[in-house]
Structure 1
Amino acid sequence: MTGSPGVCGLLLAAGGGRRYGMPKALVPTPGNPGELLVEHGVRTLREGGCSPVVVVLGAGAQSVPELPGTRVVVNPEWASGMGSSLRTGLAEAEGDAVVVLLVDTPGVTAEAVRRMSAGADASSLRVATYHGERGHPVLLGRAHWDGVAELAVGDVGARPYLRSRKPELVACEDVADGRDLDVPDA
């Protein structure tokens, strides 16, 4: 299964990582300490067929190494929560759809991104699932961007919008691990 043309990748990597003790964008990738989580997320979206890739930074942005071939945007309101980062990223996205990936989900694979984006168009709305539980990545067709942005406030991203719709649920547990890193050694 291959990704779909016109699908942008959006990596949300702005948070301060309160529970983790540092911005998660700057955390070494488990199993690959030479690669930061932000670099891993960019690579996952790229290898999953997303183009362009937009990265939203905030806390620790000045310490993130250059991310060649990406569109980096700094969310000045990152401390207000994920909602502002999602809105910031959607404002920079292009194409028919966007795959949203959180920086602290290093178990999400390029295959999961390809599965989520296959055949996507502007009306698509999909959520990855892991053993029946909703997770990331999420695919938002362009027709949904304004509605998602309107409801993305505080520490809430697309969840309220997705609850009000019937997104396609895409099982990904056979190709990825959707757990997030909340604390060190998770």
Structure 2
Amino acid sequence: KEFITANQERPFFLYLPFAIPHLSIQVPEADVAAYRDEIQEEEYVHKGYLQHPTPRAGYAGMVTMMDRGVGEVMQLLKDLKLDDNTVVLFTSDNGPTYDRLGGSDSDYFASADGMRGLKGSLYEGGIRVPLVVRWPGHITPGGETDLVAAFWDLLPTCCDIAGTTPPEGLDGVSLLPTWTGQPGQRK
């Protein structure tokens, strides 16, 4: 919050990685309690580190905690009247972790949504992640694409948004044409 407030008068780039949801399942009790009576737990009998007594509720609590953090950033942008002039990207680094490791239960949450593979594999369940983009006035809300993209496309895309040229020799391409509905983006 301090960084955004201090830089509100000029263009800025903020990379804000959330380390949750992630193993080990560590979350404030208040966030776990919200799900303890709603989510049926199974006895955890698998190996793992820092096992959580209610791993499903704990995982749901971590998602809630992250959602609250994202909401605070979005509210600050709105309060500072920056929300209509700020590009927000929300994504993940990989698919869900190995089933039942440390209490994670990917099947319960349908984290890979029926795709083969998990974190650490090159199957779609391990590498396919969502990318949500918000840029009012430029990107139509609710849009979807089947364009195959990767993280190395984000630097050229951010350069395109900023109106600058990316460094030579990059493998990535700008995704901005697809995001803004322009035809002809590579498949």
Q: Same fold (TM over 0.5)?
A: no
Name the TM-score, length of structure 2 as normaliser: 0.29
Name the TM-score, length of structure 1 as normaliser: 0.29
Structure with bigger helix share is 2
